[in-house]
Chain A
Amino acid sequence: MAVILEHIVKARLAPLRLTVPKGGQCVSAEEARDLAAELGGSLVVKALIPTGRRAKGGGVRFVESPEECADVAGQILGSTVNGFIVRSVLVEQKVDIVREYYFSLAPDPSARAMVAVFTRDGGVEVEDALHSGEGVARATCDADGSFPEFRARQLVIEADVTGPEISLLAGAIQDLIQFGTSSDATLLEINPLAITADGSICAAGAMLSIDDRALSRQETFAEGTVEAVDLYGRELTPLELRIREVNAEHKGGQHRIMEFEDGDIGCMISGGGAGLVGLDAIWRAGGRPATAFDQTSGQVEEHFFHTTSGVLELDRVRGLIIGSNIGAMGPVPIRMRGIVRALKASTRDFTTFPIVVRLAGPEDDEARRLIAEVPDVHYFGDEVTIEEAVEHLITLVQELPA
């Protein structure tokens, strides 16, 4: 998922049958002060970060004057909210809200279609509403993304909306569904979808993430896109950044590594499912994973060199498991050459830093010969399961002198 920052989303929502608060992006306290003076009145300052629940994390503040706006923007800018360093803020007019609804649109695995959710109680209440199901209505969109206005009316009526707001909401929802579908949204969330004092409907809060696989046809979003960061829910670590750079340098099987600050067992087990099984096995055996790993199809020696080196260089790591499915299609020696180079270059002593490798698959005889060049590495082919290899490593680590 690629997350689109809120100011870009709101600019894109502006032509729809709803309003968006007047405002803009600011990167400094001075900019925030100037914009606040221009907008006038009560304002809201929001951290522009690719994640939700910003209010709870201290990333949303209300201010009454340009000076206060500069002050608050200065506090938020550079601070860390929900794991992200705030590099810019959204300064906008405070919406005079009479009533708060909630709207979302996302692909639904059960319906195998886009499903819209509308709730009578929005804003901070929405999680309770979604949990209880009270005043919550759902509708499945047609496969081509179309959604007739009468169905939008049915949706809001089902959530107990009455009176003139029915048509007002239906128009906005029809437009939002059209927008979300044509944007390849994996999530479009408007919260609150507010009725204002002057009787208009306003997207007071907006979140959008779009399908990574559709980015090439969504180039109009390029400027506001924060790629893939929501997978981590925080800033990337130096190792994660290094792997990202190596990916950009060398085409083919792209590596993904994710660090866990509190872990001490390096995990480089690839295959989406196998990686999860490996992490579970580490956890169950009493270890704490320091990394999770995955790769797209295709084997690149250089990627394995950098990922292995990077994990070996993490100070807190006390042991490393490298592995993959037997069914992984690529020849094992390509991977093994990168791994062996990294192990040979490492200053670690593998008698006190256990390494277990479980790589079976095409040409694994050659791989076995390659890894034998590195002393003290525990190598397994398909004589053990991934779990058994992991359990072996954890035992070796636990037997180390403290």
Chain B
Amino acid sequence: MSILIDQTTPVLIQGITGWAAQRHVRYMLDYGTKVVGGVTPGKGGTIVEGVPVFDSVQQAVRQLGPVGLATSFVPPRGAVDAAREAIDAGIRVLHIAAEGVPVRDTIRLVDAARNAGARVIGPNSQGIITPGQAKVGGSGGDRPSRMFTPGRIGVISRSGGMGAETCWLLSRNGLGQSTYVAIGGETISGSGYLDIARLFESDADTDALVCFGEPGGVHEEELATAYAAGEITKPIVAYVAGTFMETRADGVSFGHAGAVVNGSSGAPSSKKTAMRDVGISVADRWSDIPTLVQQALGVDAME
């Protein structure tokens, strides 16, 4: 098992004829992703890397049957409309790569998804990967095995690059991953750390969670609250970047759009404290994450 995607999940690629999409379709197929079709309005009937292209999601679903996950390479201007099209066609797991979707548009999308019972990962999500089985988005590029190995650690990150790097760090220390989810570094995200942590909690093949945290937002705080309430019981190891930036003036934003700190709220130090206070293991040095995971798993096995 895994979360969100495995080798049996039928995947539809929205915006499949775009430049970045064409490159990543090849990588996804090579990795084993079950890509069943693609959509680009006006390009219906063509073929990309052996994958049939349709004019609409509705048309694709009618031809192909149920789609488990739609991954979108549609540019920011059309990303929300494309996502709503997928929801309208009955798809309930959406991955959105677009970087630069206006916050107001994301708010509307999140609302539409909520009403339909659909799950959105993104926007600005680098990807989702279940090592050894399937991946969507750009995670791992053409050489996913360089970073990702199959295993039992669930990994969550806003940053696509550091999330993948964290998987690389785990892999080189013998800790494979069940699934890695980049939720995107936006002010408003379709899914937060807690949403993904809940999935890992009920996944029989995940033993522990690793979260790469950043300044701003409420992901780490929400996770801490749920952990304290016993909603998440699996061990969590977290790192929160941005300690140096915290020594600078208020409101400094560098890194991601979602990393705006207002006063003390959203500051790395307060996030670390919130998590440590409820028993989450927090690494001060990122390279120490694997040691803490091993410790957490060891302690867990003894109990």
- Contact between A184 and B102, CB atoms less than 8 A apart: yes
Bound together, the chains give a CA A377 to CA B249 distance in angstroms of: 34
Residue of A nearest to B187 (CB): A107
**Interface flags, A258-286, vs B, CB<8A=1, else 0:** 10100000000001111111011111100
Q: A275-B254, A362-B143 are in contact. Are A283 and B243 (CB under 8 A)?
A: yes
Bound together, the chains give a CA A181 to CA B105 distance in angstroms of: 11
- Contact between B187 and A186, CB atoms less than 8 A apart: yes
Partner of A283, one of B111, B214, B244: B244
A-side contacts of B217, CB under 8 Å: 109
For chain B, residues 207 to 234, give those with C-beta under 8 angstroms from any C-beta of chain A: 212, 214-219, 222
Residue of B nearest to A230 (CB): B251
B-side contacts of A145, CB under 8 Å: 104
A-side contacts of B251, CB under 8 Å: 230, 233
- Contact between A271 and B159, CB atoms less than 8 A apart: yes
Majority SS at the chain B contact face:
loop
Bound together, the chains give a CA A382 to CA B147 distance in angstroms of: 10
Is A97 positioned at the interface, with any CB of B under 8 Å from its CB? no
Is A386 positioned at the interface, with any CB of B under 8 Å from its CB? yes
Is B103 positioned at the interface, with any CB of A under 8 Å from its CB? yes
Point out which of B216, B248, B254 has the most chain A C-beta atoms below 10 A from its C-beta: B254
B-side contacts of A338, CB under 8 Å: none
For chain A, residues 137 to 181, give those with C-beta under 8 angstroms from any C-beta of chain B: 142-145, 181
Point out which of A213, A289, A382, A385 has the most chain B C-beta atoms below 10 A from its C-beta: A213
- Contact between A143 and B164, CB atoms less than 8 A apart: no
Partner of B107, one of A113, A232, A273, A387: A113
- Contact between A329 and B138, CB atoms less than 8 A apart: yes
Q: Which of A24-32, A61-69, A320-328, A347-355 is found at the contact surface with chain B?
A: A320-328
B-side contacts of A328, CB under 8 Å: 161
B-side contacts of A324, CB under 8 Å: 161
Is A96 positioned at the interface, with any CB of B under 8 Å from its CB? no
Categorize the interface residue count of chain B. Answer: 35 or more
For chain A, residues 267 to 321, give those with C-beta under 8 angstroms from any C-beta of chain B: 271-277, 279-284, 289, 292, 294, 296-297
Is A56 positioned at the interface, with any CB of B under 8 Å from its CB? no
Is A110 positioned at the interface, with any CB of B under 8 Å from its CB? yes
Bound together, the chains give a CA A109 to CA B260 distance in angstroms of: 11
B-side contacts of A143, CB under 8 Å: 107-108, 110-112
Is B252 positioned at the interface, with any CB of A under 8 Å from its CB? yes
Bound together, the chains give a CA A233 to CA B222 distance in angstroms of: 29
In the assembled complex, how far is the CB of residue B161 from the closest CB belonging to chain A, in whole angstroms?
Answer: 3
Is A211 positioned at the interface, with any CB of B under 8 Å from its CB? yes
Partner of B169, one of A1, A284, A385: A385
Bound together, the chains give a CA A67 to CA B251 distance in angstroms of: 37
- Contact between A277 and B147, CB atoms less than 8 A apart: no
Residue of A nearest to B216 (CB): A109
B-side contacts of A402, CB under 8 Å: none
- Contact between A327 and B286, CB atoms less than 8 A apart: no
- Contact between A283 and B110, CB atoms less than 8 A apart: no
Q: A272-B185, A276-B254, A362-B142 are in contact. Are A325 and B104 (CB under 8 A)?
A: no
Is B285 positioned at the interface, with any CB of A under 8 Å from its CB? yes
B-side contacts of A124, CB under 8 Å: none
Residue of B nearest to A83 (CB): B249
A-side contacts of B139, CB under 8 Å: 327
B-side contacts of A388, CB under 8 Å: 287
Total A-B pairs, Cβ < 8 A: 170
Partner of A280, one of B244, B249, B258: B244
- Contact between B104 and A181, CB atoms less than 8 A apart: yes
Bound together, the chains give a CA A277 to CA B213 distance in angstroms of: 10
Is B151 positioned at the interface, with any CB of A under 8 Å from its CB? no
Is B247 positioned at the interface, with any CB of A under 8 Å from its CB? yes
B-side contacts of A11, CB under 8 Å: none
Is A114 positioned at the interface, with any CB of B under 8 Å from its CB? yes
A-side contacts of B243, CB under 8 Å: 280, 283-284
- Contact between B104 and A112, CB atoms less than 8 A apart: no
Majority SS at the chain A contact face:
mixed
In the assembled complex, how far is the CB of residue A208 from the closest CB belonging to chain B, in whole angstroms?
Answer: 14
Partner of A273, one of B147, B214, B222: B214
Is B126 positioned at the interface, with any CB of A under 8 Å from its CB? yes
- Contact between B162 and A325, CB atoms less than 8 A apart: yes
**Interface flags, B94-108, vs A, CB<8A=1, else 0:** 000001111110011
B-side contacts of A292, CB under 8 Å: 245, 254
Bound together, the chains give a CA A256 to CA B101 distance in angstroms of: 20
- Contact between A325 and B165, CB atoms less than 8 A apart: yes
Is A248 positioned at the interface, with any CB of B under 8 Å from its CB? no
- Contact between B111 and A326, CB atoms less than 8 A apart: no
Residue of B nearest to A113 (CB): B107
In the assembled complex, how far is the CB of residue A55 from the closest CB belonging to chain B, in whole angstroms?
Answer: 16
In the assembled complex, how far is the CB of residue B144 from the closest CB belonging to chain A, in whole angstroms?
Answer: 9
B-side contacts of A274, CB under 8 Å: 159, 161-162, 165
- Contact between A107 and B103, CB atoms less than 8 A apart: yes
Partner of A233, one of B111, B247, B252: B252
- Contact between B110 and A112, CB atoms less than 8 A apart: yes
Partner of B103, one of A211, A283, A382, A387: A211
- Contact between B255 and A184, CB atoms less than 8 A apart: no
Q: A213-B101, A327-B147, A387-B285 are in contact. Are A258 and B110 (CB under 8 A)?
A: no
Is B146 positioned at the interface, with any CB of A under 8 Å from its CB? yes
Q: A283-B244, A362-B143 are in contact. Are A326 and B164 (CB under 8 A)?
A: yes
A-side contacts of B222, CB under 8 Å: 110
Bound together, the chains give a CA A282 to CA B164 distance in angstroms of: 22
Residue of B nearest to A145 (CB): B104
Residue of A nearest to B215 (CB): A276
Residue of B nearest to A361 (CB): B141
Is A214 positioned at the interface, with any CB of B under 8 Å from its CB? yes
Residue of B nearest to A216 (CB): B77
A-side contacts of B54, CB under 8 Å: none
Residue of A nearest to B259 (CB): A272
Bound together, the chains give a CA A214 to CA B259 distance in angstroms of: 18
Is A231 positioned at the interface, with any CB of B under 8 Å from its CB? yes
- Contact between B252 and A283, CB atoms less than 8 A apart: no
**Interfacial residues, chain B to chain A (CB-CB below 8 A):** 76, 99-104, 107-108, 110-112, 126, 138-143, 146-147, 157-165, 168-169, 185, 187-189, 192, 212, 214-219, 222, 241-245, 247-256, 258-260, 284-287
Q: What are 7 A-to-B residue pairs whose CB atoms are below 8 Å?
A: A109-B192, A260-B248, A279-B244, A280-B241, A327-B147, A327-B168, A382-B168
